[in-house]
Every structure is written in structure tokens, then in C-alpha cells.
Amino acid sequence: MSGISDTMSGMLAAEAVTRTYTTPAGDVHALRGVSHAFMPGRVTAVMGPSGSGKSTLLNLLAGFDRPSSGRVVFDGVSLGDLPERELAGLRLRRFGFVFQSSNLISVLPARKNVAFPMGLAGLSLRERTDRAQALLERFGVDHRADAVPNRLSGGERQRVALARALANDPDVVFADEPTGNLDRSSGREVVNALREVAADGRTVIVVTHDGAVADAADVTLRIVDGEIDDAADASETALHEPVAST
Amino acid sequence: MIWSLALHSLRHRPLRTTLTAAGIAIAVGSMVVFLSLGEGLRQAFADELSGVGAEIQISSGPFEASGFGSVPELPLSTIDDIKRVGEPLGVIDVIPLVLYLRGGFTPDSSFAFQGLPADIDIAGVYPGYEIVAGRGITPEDANRNVAVVGVQAAERSNLEIGDPLRLSPDATFEIIGLADATGGLLSNGILVPLESLQVAIDSPDRVSFLVVDIDDPSRADEVADALGEAFPELGVQTAGDVLAVIERGIRITDVVRLGISAIALIVGAIAVANTVLMSVFERTREFGVVRAVGARPRFLFGVVLAESVLLSIVGGLVGVLLGFAGAWIVNIVSADLIGLDVAAITMRLILFSLAVALAMGLLSGLAPSARAARIQIAHAVSQGN
Ligand SMILES: Nc1ncnc2c1ncn2[C@@H]1O[C@H](COP(=O)(O)OP(=O)(O)OP(=O)(O)O)[C@@H](O)[C@H]1O
Ligand SMILES: [Mg+2]
């Protein structure tokens, strides 16, 4: 895995971001002005009650959705200014994703799931297979490389998903409740893996209800009612030093 | 990538894939059978007419209007007029022919009687004419009720030499021989002396057709035009004209058969579109993930379109095989009933069917593909959590 030398590459920031959903029942103000800079080399946990707007924030940061006002800036570029084609390229080469569960392509075996984004990026079959194998080994699931997702345990699935998130060596890894369906020990494995990913110098953003995940994070961001809860501000937890990039 | 993902998806649900492909196969297969009937008829008529030696034939009116089996209307005296006008044009001979169809309730009790002068060389009218058993008609038979039966007609109706053949309550012909010739026209018919047939159907001095023999077959069109001008009240056709009329008739049945096939194809296409669309809805979340990891909308469009194209290519190939089987069965039945292979599967029919299957796949895949391309990632990945 190539290291990321430029510390500031991969910085993602929300600037006064709001998101209002228009529904037949009226407007839902899911985010009411969130500003925060997510730093490379650190795991940032986004916490908060259900319905507070965590997933909405993640969707905006990842470019799945566009803010009603405010900006999401990645490496100095506002995502809102990019056409869908370039957003897809960004997600392919600079972002990686892990979702709560069943976020693998069900018809493809584990190795092909990991190799899939590499194929989209135009890597040769050989490179794809070798790299995918190496990533599966890294997360300890290489022995399951030929199994389709529904033959994998929940923990194995999330580790394969993590391997896939790193397929094209991204700068930012997003995870929405990656431990939501896992028991404690599987959850811990996934958290440790996320910490390792941050240790590569990547920006890791984890939406979670899981206290154990928050404890392992470098930064915790609390969202309440679509706003950052200042009482538990995004101060660095003293537990972990930010991981220096190589 | 697109094809590989499409293939994996189809293989992942073998039962659904098989059933959908089977639906296409049946639609395409029935189309192949329907259309093979037209191809078979074309071939049959081309074969039959290539077995007729005459380049020009004359009837009492336009060919289309002079139904087979209606009363002979052409006065025998016309022969001399045509000979006189035709001599300078290269007409060698003019042979009268009476055609009489005795209808029956079943194919094996229907007979096509052809009356030709007893003193002519039959091989001049039917190339390859040969007596297979018994004897042929000789000049002495001119006013006798004797018949030479084509081998296929004999086999179909179980006729043997010596058997009586009833044409009407008053006229019975005795079978004296069996004959065969190139093409099926003679082989499916019954040859009798012209004079006795005229008496039997009570139509002396009238014939159905005049068969004109010319010295240079390549000038048939020219001679036919000249004769047509000299005798505007007569219908003058070359073998090519006859084929063209038959071709037009088959075309009309083509339209009907295409129409019936189209219904099967449309039903099939809707079924495919429905299945593929359902499978898109089922995979909304998964497709959202595919988009999240960096695929563009057109990638998903391609995957879904590739799935329906693969389905229809496989269905189309199996459908053509089904069509072969169907045409084979049709021919077993038709050979037994009327001594003709009415279904034929030609290369152009195969290519046409595969093209139709492919078009069906493309068309029925469009709506589901467009649906897949429109999936919103944020909405899709939040489903089913
Ligand atoms: N597509 C949508 N249309 C309308 N309202 C929406 C939509 N998505 C989310 N919301 C609403 O916006 C608010 C924030 O939702 P969001 O999913 O971001 O919450 P969350 O913090 O992720 O909750 P959870 O912890 O339950 O996942 C909620 O009130 C939700 O009902
Ligand atoms: Mg959520």
C-alpha cells in the first residue's frame, strides 16, 4: 500500500452545510448548518440520536447528495460544483465506503467484490487479482476469497467491505454504522481495522451509535437535531494521539 | 466489467433466468415455425414450376382470375390462331391442357386431373418424365378412359395399376401406369388423355390452358408480350409471371403469419421487461452500492441492458432450435397429407429470427436499464438497513 505523503491531501470539510428534505408532510430540516474539518490520519466518529442527521451528513460529505446551502470542500474543491461524472470519479479513486450491512455485491465472490472498483478504474485483471488478494490478507479474510457474501459471517463481510473500500487507495474512508450488525468481538476487529486505515494517513469518518467505536476514535462529533452539539464539542479525545502520516 | 457483472447476476438466479429465456425461446420458436411455412411454400412452388417445360402459358383471362378447377373456357380453335401469329416469333408448338380438380373431403381423396393430347411427348411439358410402372399413354389411348398416376399421388391415395379412378358418377378411369417427373406437379397429379377428359367433364372443344413452346426460352417475355398484344382477351403469362403471382399470394400470408408472430413476440417482450424491471427493483440497494463505489449511471444502464440482451440471445438461439423441431413436425404431417414439405428453415429466416430476438432484448431492456441508471445513491444505500 503506498503511503500518503501529503498530509493535507484528503482533507474534507463541511462549511455551514444545511439539508432540508421536502416531503408531502412538510419540510424536514435534517441539517441546520454544520461546519467541521475532517483531518487525514484520524478516525472521526459522528454520533447522535436517531434521526439527528448523521447519515444525511455522511451522504453530503460523500457527494451522494447535494446540500441545500453551504458547501462540502474536498482538497479545495467544492463538491457541489462538480458534475455527476466527476463525482463518480472522486468516489472511485479518492473515497472508500463501508455501510451497515449487506453492502457487498451479492452475486460476486469476496475477491471479485474487492476487485470491482479496481476494474472500474481500469486495472488489469492480474493487478486486480493480486491487489484484492493482498487486501483480503490484510484484513484476515483471504481464506474466504471465493465465497459469495451470503456465505460470509457479518464480521467477515464488513472486513471484505473494508478491503473493497481501500481498493483504489482512497484518501477518505466513510463508514455508516459499520458495527451495527456485529457482536462485540467482530465489532472490535472492524474498529481496529478502521484505526489501521487511518494510520495509513487516510481520513476516516464513522457514523455510529456504538460507544466502543467512539472510544476508539480520535475525534468525536456529536450531532443533535441537525446541529453540532457544542457541549460535547469536536475536541480531540486525549486517549489517542493523531496518527502521524508516513 | 459490464458483461461479467451481467453474467454473474443471471447465473445467480438460475431458475428465473431459465424461465425468462424459455419464454423468449417459445415466442421466437413459434415465429420461426410460422415464417418457415412461407419459406417452404416458396421453395415448393419454385420446385414445381421448374418442373414445367413450358415458358409461356395462356389462359382465357388474367391468370389470377382463372381459378384452377373452374370450367375450361379456352376454345380449342385458339390454338391455330396462336400458331399462326406465333410462328414468326419462334413458337414451335402449342399444346392444349385441361385441368380438372376433383375435390374430396380429405387430401387423399382429392385428385388433380390433367388432360394432355395423347399423341404428344409428355417430356416436352414435364422434363424428366418417366414411367415408373405399367405403361404410358399412347396415341391409341386418345378416347379411352385411362390414367397415368403420379407416384406421390399414388402413394398418398393408395392407388395401384388396374384400379378404377372415379371422376364423376358417369366417368371412371383405369390406371395403366405410374409416372414421375422433375418437380412435384406431375408426381402429385393424374395424367389422362385430353379428349377423354373433355368428354368426362362435358366440355368438348374447350381447354383450361395452352402451353406454348418456343425455340429460344430467353425470349419468353418478348414473345409473351407480342402474344398478349395480339390476343388482348387472353391471359398470357411466362413462368416468371406465374411465380410472381404466387410470390404475391405468399407475401399476403407472410403478413398474416408475421402478425400472429408479433403477438407472441410482444407478449414475450413484455414478460422479459417485467422480469428485468422487477430484478432492478430488488437490487436497488445493491445498485446504490455499485454507484457509491464509483460506477457511473451508464454502467448500471449497460449491466441491465446486457442482462436482457444475453437473455434474448440465449432465448433466440434455443427458439431457432425449437423452430427446427416444429418445422420438422409440420413437414411430417404435411408430407403425409399432401406430399409436400410446407415448412422450410432458410438461412435468412434464422438470421431474421436472431435479429428479432436481439431487438426484443434491446427494447424490453430499455425501460429497466433507464430505471437502474436513475437510482439515487443516498436513497438506495439507506434501504433495507
Ligand atoms: N430522503 C428523505 N426524505 C425525507 N426525510 C428524510 C430523508 N432522509 C432522512 N430524512 C429525515 O431526516 C432526518 C435525519 O435523518 P438521518 O437519516 O440523517 O438520521 P440519522 O442520524 O442517520 O438516524 P439513524 O441513527 O436512525 O440512522 C430524519 O428526521 C429523517 O426522517
Ligand atoms: Mg443513519
Could you give the angle at the alpha carbon of B348 between the alpha carbons of B344 and B350, nearest 5°? 75
Distance from residue A112's CA to the centre of ligand 2 (Å):
28
Looking at all shown ligands, the one closest to residue A46's CA atom is 1
d(CA B245, CA B238): 11
Distance from residue B375's CA to the centre of ligand 1 (Å):
18
Pair A100, B289: CB distance under 8 Å:
no
Q: What is the mean pLDDT of chain A?
A: 88
Pair B16, B280: CB distance under 8 Å:
no
**ipTM of the assembly?**
0.88
Strands (E), chain B: 56-59, 74-75, 91-102, 111-116, 130-134, 146-150, 164-168, 171-180, 190-193, 206-207, 209-214, 235-238
3-state secondary structure of B322: helix
> Domain locations in chain A?
39-63+81-240
Q: How many CB atoms neighbour CB B84 within 10 A? A: 11
For the entire predicted model, the pTM comes to 0.73
d(CA A109, CA B11): 13
pLDDT in tens, A220-238: 999 999 999 876 554 554 4
Superfamily of domain A39-63+81-240, CATH level 4? P-loop containing nucleotide triphosphate hydrolases (3.40.50.300)
Pair B252, B262: CB distance under 8 Å:
no
Smallest Cβ–Cβ distance between B292 and the set A64, A108, A112 belongs to A64
Distance from residue B163's CA to the centre of ligand 1 (Å):
95
Question: Grid coordinates representing A193?
Answer: 481495522
d(CA B164, CA B172): 6
pLDDT in tens, A146-193: 999 999 998 899 999 999 999 999 999 999 989 888 888 888 888 999
Q: Give the gap in angstroms from C-alpha A238 to the nearest C-alpha of chain B.
A: 33
Per-residue pLDDT tens digits of chain B, which is 385 residues long: 899 999 999 999 999 999 999 989 999 999 999 888 888 877 777 766 665 656 788 887 765 544 454 577 788 888 888 888 888 888 888 889 888 887 776 767 778 888 999 888 888 788 788 898 899 999 998 889 999 999 888 888 888 899 998 888 888 999 999 998 876 677 888 999 999 998 888 888 888 888 888 888 778 888 888 888 888 888 888 877 777 777 788 788 888 888 888 888 898 889 889 999 999 999 999 999 999 999 999 999 999 999 999 999 999 999 999 999 999 999 898 887 777 778 888 898 999 999 999 999 999 999 999 999 999 998 888 775 4
**What is the distance, to the nearest Å, from the Cα of residue A195 to the centroid of all Cα atoms in its chain?**
12
Pair B224, B238: CB distance under 8 Å:
yes
Contact status of A113 with chain B (Cβ, < 8 Å) = no
3-state secondary structure of B132: strand
Q: Sign of the CA dihedral A58, A153, B294, A37?
A: positive
H-helix segments, A121-210: 125-138, 154-165, 184-199
User: How confident is the model at residue A124, as a pLDDT?
Assistant: 95
d(CA B221, CA B241): 9
Q: Ligand 1: residues within 6 Å at CB? A: A 21, 23, 28, 30, 48, 50-56
- Dihedral pair phi/psi, residue B235, rounded to 5°: -95, 120
The string of DSSP codes covering A51-88 is TSSHHHHHHHHTTSS--SEEEEEETTEEGGGS-HHHHH
Closest residue on chain B to A66 (Cα): B378
Pair A13, A37: CB distance under 8 Å:
yes
